[in-house]
Amino acid sequence: MRRVYLFCNAGMSTSLLASKMQKVAEEHNLPIEVKAFPDSKMDNIIAEFNPDCILLGPQVKYLYEKVVERYGHLGHPIFVIDSTDYGSMNGERVLKAAIKKMKESEAK
């Protein structure tokens, strides 16, 4: 089971996107768990669950460098969700982007 975890300020709007992404994963029988969390819980969540992909909501893109510095050594993709896809809550496109980044990461 792959873990794709989203982080934003409070985890509210990102929770909606995560549920849409999870629905797409289930429709395609993909062994992926998608969850959303507030950025304040990032350290604990990453330490406990070691997600395969870390996505940041556009509203916390300012955290990107800090997150890469802190967790980049794990070798998992870390990226900011496209603001257009986030705004339209396009779970399919965001999930595809995450899968693509995980495949690229594994190929290294």
8 is catalytic: yes
63 contacts 47 by C-beta, under 8 angstroms:
no
Question: How is residue 82 annotated by DSSP?
Answer: P
Alpha-carbon 99 to chain mean position: 10
Residue 55: name the closest of 29, 21, 106, 88 by CA: 21
48 contacts 25 by C-beta, under 8 angstroms:
no
Catalytic member of 4, 8, 34, 60: 8
Would you please indicate which residues are annotated as catalytic (active-site) residues?
Answer: 8
